Amino acid sequence: MELAPTDDQRVRLGRHAGLSRLVENFALERVKAALDQRAAEKTYGVPDGGLTPVPWSAPALESAWRATHPKRFPWFTDAGLSSRVPKEACRVRAAGFSNFFDSRTGKRTGRKVGFPSWRKRKHGSRFRYDADRAKPVDVRTVRLPGVGVVASREDMTWLVDRLADGAARVLGATVKERAGRWWISFQIEIDRSTLDQRRTVPPDAPACGIDLGLTTFATIVDTDGTVTEVRAPKPLKAALRKLRKANKALARSRRGSANRVKRRAQLARVHLRVAHRRADFLHKTTTRLARTKSAIAVETLNIQGMTRNRRLARAISDAGWGEFVRQLDYKTGWYGSRVWKADRWFPSSKTCSTPGCGQRYGGLALGDRTWTCTGCGIVHDRDHNAATNVLAAMLADVA
């Protein structure tokens, strides 16, 4: 939720973000120094048991920070900044090291994670509080250690009531700045049973198959034969003109000038609006589907591979297919629905969806929106046909 800090509070928030960045870099510096020392010791024949230990863990990094900051960073105590921010910064850095090693050994799935790098101001301003150090005071204010009581632009009745009843508890909080605006996100543990039961999927709700595309974001075919086409707002495409204008103004401004700061803020606001429009569309669409469909069949897309096509990369990234499926995964769990994913190589577009036919059309090109089946002679719309096939595959798999 968005915060409404005063000018003095904005300064305090910025200092805490800078503190978090400094501690993360301090932790990385300590680890690299220990690794360099170990490499030098090995050249002198020091056995492995006698090598300098590397502070990989959060407690070790916290201990190094507490021992160092009184002499090296004396301003930390004098500035009255929260001691919880350095603690969480060490945890973030330790998690980065853990993810790196888990990625190398195969314990972490997905794209390979590189060794943590130096955190810079251009990477964004953010910091964390642990446990419930930061929490709502009432429906319109939040208490942040080291900053004070900050007003909120959004009503928090839903959270305050649940915290008072014991139905939720705060596990942590992240404060982040984007385009000059400050936001706080609470990590909470909550009992959703009552809420989910009130919004559960009706027993007679239809199942559906979904084909994702660029011209039409989602073609939805229900078991009762209803076909729905969902058009995406394409926020990045709509903002390209403003982005070009803002980027040109930034490039033409003198480095270090006040005008350059204004132009950078203007460009950030355009990017923030694009992200918000996309997130709003995806959340509304996935929530509606999760609450009205008993089962949802989707394709498994190789989005990373598809973005290698230079002509389509921007449009694919603008669509947000991966985030769409990710949201469906957890929202269907809330409301009693489920998601079924087709195999990546399932030929949903090339297979005739007419019952009893199943003919495959091998000559289907990416630009072909319709094709005629050589087996039954029916003209298929590419997207409708794919959604129907995905739905049929799900129904056959769970039968």
Structural tokens at position 374: 């050589």
Structural tokens at position 363: 């000559």
Q: How far apart are CA 124 and CA 17, in angstroms?
A: 9
| Core vs surface per residue 346-383: b (16+ CB within 10 A) or e | bebbbbbbbeeeeeebeebeeeeeebebeeeeeebbbb
Structural tokens at position 110: 């997905």
| pTM tops 0.85 | yes
pLDDT digits (tens, 9 = 90+) for 74-109: 999 888 899 999 999 999 999 999 999 999 998 988
Catalytic residue among 29, 299, 329, 343: 299
pLDDT digits (tens, 9 = 90+) for 174-228: 999 999 999 999 999 988 887 788 889 998 999 999 999 998 999 999 999 899 9
- From the list 362, 388, 387, the residue with the least C-alpha distance to 373 is 362
Active site residue 383: yes
pLDDT digits (tens, 9 = 90+) for 232-260: 999 999 999 999 999 999 999 999 999 99
Average per-residue pLDDT in the chain?
92
Active site residue 299: yes
Q: How far apart are CA 362 and CA 352, in angstroms?
A: 11
Active site residue 397: no
Looking at residues 347-376, what average pLDDT do you find? 81
Catalytic residue among 211, 280, 323, 329: 211
By the 8 A CB rule, do 31 and 117 touch?
Answer: no
Residue 376 in this model has a pLDDT that exceeds 90: no
Return the pLDDT at 379.
84
DSSP, residue by residue, 180-195: TEEEEEEEEEE--HHH
Strands 135-138 and 125-130 come out as unpaired
By the 8 A CB rule, do 373 and 357 touch?
Answer: yes
